A and B are shown apart, each in its own frame.
Chain A
Amino acid sequence: MQVNQISVFLENKSGRLAAVTKLLQRYNVNIRALSIADTSDFGILRLIVDQPQLAFNALKSEGFSVSMTEVIGVEMPDRPGGLAGVLEILEKYEFNIEYLYAFIGKADDKALVICRVERVEDAVKCLEDNGITVLTGEKLYEL
C-alpha cells in the first residue's frame, strides 16, 4: 500500500542527472516527483515514477547504485497550515522525518507531500487515525 521510491547514488559531476533521465525516457518511465539531496562530493536522487520496478531494474542493469525505499504519500488541504497540520501529528506521535518533498501533480484543492519516516506502517496508521488521507502507491503513480 505504501509508495516505492527509487534512490540513485550520483557523483556530483555534470551529466549524471541527464544520464538517469535519458535512461528513464528510453524505458518510457514517467517521473512523478523528484528531489536531490547533495553534498560537495555526491548526491542522492530520489524519484517517484509511474513504474518503480521497471525503473529500478533499468537503472540497476545500467550499473547505477540504486535502492528502493518505502515512503508515504500524504494528502492535505492546499492552503496555509496544510503541511503544518500533518507535521504536528507526526511530531506528537514522535515519528522522526528523514526527509520530505512536494509532489508535482496534485488533485484539485489538495497538496501532496512525499515523506520518509522510520516505522512507515505505524506512521500511516497514525495519520489515518487522525483523519489525514494517505495515498496508495497505485493511486500516486497514476496521478
Chain B
Amino acid sequence: MIWNEKCECMPVEERKELQLERLKATVENVFFNVPHYRKAMQYAGVEPDDIQTLEDIRKLPFTVKDDLRDNYPYGMLAVPLSEIVRIHSSSGTTGKPTVVGYTRNDINNWAELMARSLVSGGATRNDVIHNAYGYGLFTGGLGIHHGAERLGASVIPISGGNTKRQVMIMRDFGSTVLTCTPSYALVIAETMEEMGISKDEMKLKHGIFGAEPWSENMRLEIEKKLGISAVDIYGLSEVLGPGVAIECQCKNGLHVQEDHFIIEVIDPDTGEPVPEGEKGEIVFTSLMKEGLPIIRYRTRDIASIITGSCPCGRTSVRMSRVSGRTDDMLIIRGVNIFPSQVESILLDIGQAEPHYLLVVDRVNNLDVLTVKVEVSESLFAFDEVRRLEQLGKDISAALQSGLGISVKVQLVEPKTLERSEGKAKRVVDNRKF
C-alpha cells in the first residue's frame, strides 16, 4: 500500500525539478532569515543565485551539530518564535542540547511523512497502533503519533516502560502494529514469554522500528518471536524526527522522502561525494522545513545509497541500514550518548582527570552500559568498603541522571584502562549490528 502515490511514485525527473525548485527557495530563505547560514555562505563565497542545478548543492557549506549548539536555543530558527508551535530537543553532549522548532506547516508535513511511513510499514486506518516510543522532548513518540492520527488508525500513546503492562494492553486492546526501538521489541517478546503469553494471543501483524542501529538477524528474530513483519525507520530531530526514510515491505533499503529531503553520501574526511553505491557519511538538506530549515546536515551516520527501481513502486532512492558512526557517539536503548558526557559528569563529581571506559554489551537483547572508572588517589582517601560502594553508587546515580539511562559502574585499579598515544580509548562496543 502507498499513502501518497503522487508524491511517492513521482517520475524521477519530475521529482528532480521539484527538488531544485524547493532547494532554491530553501537556500534563499536561510540566507535572508538565518544569520548563521548567511555568514557561512558568505564565508564560502556562495550566494542563493549560485544554486542553479541540484549538483550546485555542493557549493553550500555543511552544517554540523555544533552549529546548532552554538546558536542555542533559537538562533537557527528561520521564523519568529511566535510561528513555532512545537519545540523538540535532542540529547546534549557535554553542554547544551540542540533545539528544534516546528511551525504548524512543519507539524502538518511531518504527519504526512509519518503517515506514508506507517503505510509503508504495513499499517492501515483499520489498525491499532501501539506506540511505545518515548513521548516528550524526544521526537519518536509524538512523530509517530501524529502520523498515526493522520492515517486514521487508532493510536495507543503508551510511551516506554512498564513492559508487563504494555503486553497486557497489547493483548487486551488488540494492538496490530507495534512501534518502538528494535531492542525494546525484543524485550516485549521476552516479557511475553515470561508471562506465558503466546504470540497467537496477540493480533500483532506489523512492526516499525528505529532510533537505534539493528541488524538483519535482529529483524528475523523479532519477526519470528512476535509473528510480524518488521521494517526499519530512520530520522533524526535535527532534520525532522522519524519519517525521513522508511523501508517498504520489500525490505531492501529505506526510501528517502525525496520530495522533502535531499540525501548526499560523502567521504567524512574530504567532504567530497563517494562513488555511487559506496558507504559514507549521509548528509541531509531539508526542502520544506519552515521552523528549522537545515542545509547539508552532517548526520555522522554511515550508510550507502541503493539505486535502481524498487518493486513496491516508490521511485525515491533508498539508503542502506545505518552501519555505524563517524564520531564516537553511541546509541544505547535509543538514547544518544557521547563519552565526553561521561567525562564531564565524572569531573562534576570531583574526580580530576578521570580515567574511564564505556563498555556496551547486549544482554538478553537489551543494551547494557558499564562505565569502568579508575579509583584514583583522590577517590581512595578512606579504606571502608561501604564508602567505596557508596562512591560507586553515587557515580552511577550521577551518570544515570545525566545520561538518562541506567549505568553500571565498575571501580577499577589505577592505570589499568588502556591509554593509547594521544587520545585515550573510551569505548568498547561489544554489540553486533
Stretch from A3-11, A107-115, A119-127, A132-140 at the B interface: A3-11
Taking CB atoms and an 8 Å cut-off, the chain A residues in 84-142 that contact chain B are: 98-99, 116
Residues A41 and B385 in contact in the complex (CB < 8 Å), given A9-B380, A65-B380 = no
Residues A65 and B414 in contact in the complex (CB < 8 Å), given A9-B375, A9-B380 = yes
Residues A65 and B385 in contact in the complex (CB < 8 Å), given A11-B413, A41-B410 = no
A27 at interface by CB-CB < 8 Å: no
* CB-defined contacts of A10 to chain B, threshold 8 Å: 413
Nearest Cβ distance between residue B394 and chain A, in whole angstroms? 15
- Residue of B379, B381, B389, B414 ringed by the most chain A CB atoms within 10 A: B414
B421 at interface by CB-CB < 8 Å: no
A78 to B410, CA, bound (A): 42
**Residue pair B380, A37 in contact (C-beta under 8 Å):** no
**Residue pair B410, A67 in contact (C-beta under 8 Å):** no
A73 to B180, CA, bound (A): 62
* CB-defined contacts of A39 to chain B, threshold 8 Å: 385, 388-389
Give the bracket for the number of chain A residues in contact with chain B.
20 to 34
Nearest Cβ distance between residue B328 and chain A, in whole angstroms? 25
**Residue pair A44, B381 in contact (C-beta under 8 Å):** no
A7 to B377, CA, bound (A): 12
* CB-defined contacts of A63 to chain B, threshold 8 Å: 413-415
**Residue pair B385, A64 in contact (C-beta under 8 Å):** no
Residues A9 and B381 in contact in the complex (CB < 8 Å), given A39-B389, A65-B375 = no
A16 at interface by CB-CB < 8 Å: yes
* CB-defined contacts of B388 to chain A, threshold 8 Å: 9, 39, 42, 44
**Residue pair A64, B410 in contact (C-beta under 8 Å):** no
Q: Which residue of B lies closest to A5 (CB)?
A: B383
**Residue pair A11, B416 in contact (C-beta under 8 Å):** yes
* CB-defined contacts of B384 to chain A, threshold 8 Å: 44, 98-99
**Residue pair B381, A67 in contact (C-beta under 8 Å):** yes
B44 at interface by CB-CB < 8 Å: no
A69 to B412, CA, bound (A): 21
Q: Which residue of B lies closest to A7 (CB)?
A: B383
**Residue pair A67, B416 in contact (C-beta under 8 Å):** no
B29 at interface by CB-CB < 8 Å: no
Residues A69 and B383 in contact in the complex (CB < 8 Å), given A41-B411, A63-B415 = yes
B43 at interface by CB-CB < 8 Å: no
Contact partner of A42 (CB less than 8 A), chosen from B381, B382, B411, B414, is B411
* CB-defined contacts of B375 to chain A, threshold 8 Å: 9, 42, 65
**Residue pair A11, B412 in contact (C-beta under 8 Å):** yes
- Residue of B379, B384, B416 ringed by the most chain A CB atoms within 10 A: B384
* CB-defined contacts of A9 to chain B, threshold 8 Å: 375, 380, 388, 411, 413
B376 at interface by CB-CB < 8 Å: yes
A66 at interface by CB-CB < 8 Å: yes
Contact partner of A46 (CB less than 8 A), chosen from B376, B382, B383, B389, is B383
Q: Which residue of A lies closest to B410 (CB)?
A: A41
Taking CB atoms and an 8 Å cut-off, the chain B residues in 195-234 that contact chain A are: none
A11 to B415, CA, bound (A): 12
* CB-defined contacts of A16 to chain B, threshold 8 Å: 413
* CB-defined contacts of A44 to chain B, threshold 8 Å: 383-385, 388
Q: Which residue of A lies closest to B411 (CB)?
A: A42
Nearest Cβ distance between residue B386 and chain A, in whole angstroms? 9
A64 to B380, CA, bound (A): 10
Nearest Cβ distance between residue B361 and chain A, in whole angstroms? 16
Q: Which residue of A lies closest to B413 (CB)?
A: A11
Q: Which residue of A lies closest to B412 (CB)?
A: A11
A64 to B416, CA, bound (A): 10
In the complex, per-residue mask of B136-172: 1 if CB is within 8 Å of any chain A CB, else 0: 0000000000000000000000000000000000000
**Residue pair B389, A66 in contact (C-beta under 8 Å):** no
* CB-defined contacts of B380 to chain A, threshold 8 Å: 7, 9, 65-67
Residues A67 and B413 in contact in the complex (CB < 8 Å), given A42-B388, A44-B388 = no
Besides A44-B385, A67-B381, 9 more A-B contacts (Cβ < 8 Å) are A5-B383, A9-B380, A11-B411, A42-B412, A64-B414, A65-B376, A65-B413, A67-B383, A99-B384
Which chain B residues have a beta carbon within 8 Å of chain A's beta carbons? 375-377, 379-385, 388-389, 410-416
Which chain A residues have a beta carbon within 8 Å of chain B's beta carbons? 5, 7, 9-11, 16, 37-39, 41-42, 44, 46, 60, 63-67, 69, 98-99, 116
When A and B form their complex, which 10 residue pairs have the shortest distance between CB atoms, in order from nearest?
A7-B383, A65-B380, A37-B385, A63-B415, A65-B375, A69-B383, A9-B375, A9-B380, A11-B413, A63-B414
Q: List 22 A-B contacts (CB under 8 A).
A: A9-B375, A9-B411, A10-B413, A11-B411, A11-B412, A16-B413, A38-B385, A39-B385, A41-B410, A42-B411, A42-B412, A44-B383, A46-B383, A60-B377, A63-B413, A63-B415, A64-B414, A65-B379, A65-B380, A67-B380, A98-B384, A116-B383
